[in-house]
């Protein structure tokens, strides 16, 4: 089953299979419009609030044992509003902004038709697994929103495990789920720090980095085995891998045949 030596492909979710960044931008614009139209903020003030929230999201450290993700993210909005406008904390407005942002972002998370077709085709010969870092609630809501469950043999969310990418343990857990060895798996994702480093840490057969800009400097680190600009380029990479493996097998066979018996 599958390519020579490759039995499974692990896919990241955000900005690999779905364009979370674009959905997030749409959501931010909705909040900016609402703050202006409904709450009479100036555009500059509204954008400053949203910029501050995005900065807080990037630095977010979440411990689900101490606080649920909803409360934490409402607090981001509450702090950003207070830092921008001053005065008393406004939890109600913060909650309104958070739910508008969240709902709009989820509405725009879609698994494109050509991506669905590619996954369907790959699954005819390979086992497919979705491996995403992040809070359990947040990531499960995204998975539900883009309806990607039917395309995978298994789905693993980092926030539900002891360790997230790039820890080898989560990759080895995924291998065990599918009944495959690390050397039979390929990791595909947009993050060098988690997807690529994790795949290398776990000893996977290959790592495929999605670099939409394709403007990587020569000193990219860690070094992925392959670089593509879109997940839709993956089948060509897998074909190339099969060609290389077949060529090596042929070379090895010729070498062994020429040896005296």
Write the DSSP string, 153-203.
Answer: SEEEEGGGSSS-TTSHHHHHHHHHHHT--GGGEEEEES-IIIIIHHHHHTT
In this prediction, residue 219 carries a pLDDT of: 75
In this prediction, residue 253 carries a pLDDT of: 47
Confidence of residue 252 (pLDDT cuts 50, 70, 90): low
In this prediction, residue 244 carries a pLDDT of: 78
- Is the predicted pLDDT of residue 228 greater than 60, yes or no? yes
Burial track 97-113 (b if 16+ CB lie within 10 A, e otherwise): bbebbbebbbebbebee
Do the Cβ atoms of 235 and 122 come closer than 8 Å? yes
- Is the predicted pLDDT of residue 62 greater than 80, yes or no? yes
* Burial environment of residue 28 by CB neighbours within 10 A (0 to 12, 13 to 18, 19 or more): buried
Confidence of residue 5 (pLDDT cuts 50, 70, 90): confident
Q: Which residues are registered as beta bridge partners of 132? A: 157
Q: Where are the domains of the chain?
A: 8-18+111-258, 20-107
Element (H, E) at 17: none
The residue that leads in pLDDT, 18 or 2, is: 18
In this prediction, residue 250 carries a pLDDT of: 56
User: What is the assigned CATH class of domain 8-18+111-258?
Assistant: alpha beta
Place of tokens 């995978």: 152
- Is the predicted pLDDT of residue 203 greater than 50, yes or no? yes
**Mean pLDDT of all residues belonging to the chain:** 93
| 20-107: in CATH 1.20.120.710 | yes
**18 DSSP 8-state letter:** B
Reported as a single tens digit per residue, the pLDDT across 138-171 is 999 999 999 999 999 999 999 999 999 999 999 9
In this prediction, residue 150 carries a pLDDT of: 98
Q: How far apart are the first and last CA of the chain?
A: 32
Q: Comparing C-alpha atoms, which of 245, 215, 239 is closest to residue 227?
A: 215
Reported as a single tens digit per residue, the pLDDT across 65-93 is 999 999 999 999 999 999 999 999 999 99
Ranges of beta strands (E only) in the chain are 8-11, 127-132, 154-157, 185-189, 206-210, 226-228
Can you say whether the dihedral through the CA atoms of 98, 19, 111, 12 is positive or negative?
negative
CATH topology agreement for domains 8-18+111-258 and 20-107: no
User: Sheet harboring 226-228: ordered strands across?
Assistant: 154-157, 127-132, 8-11, 185-189, 206-210, 226-228
Residue 108 in tokens: 């725009």
In this prediction, residue 112 carries a pLDDT of: 98
Question: Quick count: other Cβ atoms within 10 Å of Cβ 53?
Answer: 23
- Is the predicted pLDDT of residue 52 greater than 50, yes or no? yes
Q: How much is the average pLDDT of 227-238? A: 97
- Is the predicted pLDDT of residue 245 greater than 80, yes or no? no
């Amino acid at each position: 089953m599958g390519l020579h030596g490759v039995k499974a492909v692990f896919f990241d979710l955000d900005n690999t299979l779905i364009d979370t960044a674009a959905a997030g931008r749409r959501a931010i614009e909705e909040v900016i419009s609402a703050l202006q139209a409904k709450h009479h903020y100036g555009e500059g003030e509204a954008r400053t609030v949203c910029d501050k929230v995005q900065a807080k999201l990037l630095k977010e450290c979440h411990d689900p044992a101490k606080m649920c993700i909803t409360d934490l993210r409402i607090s981001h909005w509450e702090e950003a509003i207070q830092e921008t406008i001053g005065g008393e904390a406004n939890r109600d407005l913060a909650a309104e902004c958070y739910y508008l942002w969240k709902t709009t972002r989820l509405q725009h998370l879609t698994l494109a038709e050509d991506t669905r077709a590619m996954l369907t085709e790959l699954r005819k010969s390979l086992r497919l697994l979705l491996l995403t870092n992040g809070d359990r609630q947040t990531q499960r809501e995204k998975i539900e929103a883009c309806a990607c469950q039917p395309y995978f043999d298994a789905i693993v969310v980092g926030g539900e495990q002891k360790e997230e990418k790039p820890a080898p343990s989560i990759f080895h857990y995924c291998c065990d789920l599918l009944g495959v060895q690390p050397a039979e798996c390929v990791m595909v994702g947009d993050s060098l720090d988690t997807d690529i480093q994790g795949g290398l840490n776990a000893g996977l057969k290959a790592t495929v980095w999605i670099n939409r800009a394709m403007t990587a400097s020569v000193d990219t680190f860690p070094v992925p085995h392959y670089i593509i600009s879109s997940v839709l380029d993956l089948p060509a990479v897998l074909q190339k891998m099969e060609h290389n493996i077949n060529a090596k097998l042929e070379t090895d066979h010729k070498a062994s045949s020429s040896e005296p018996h």
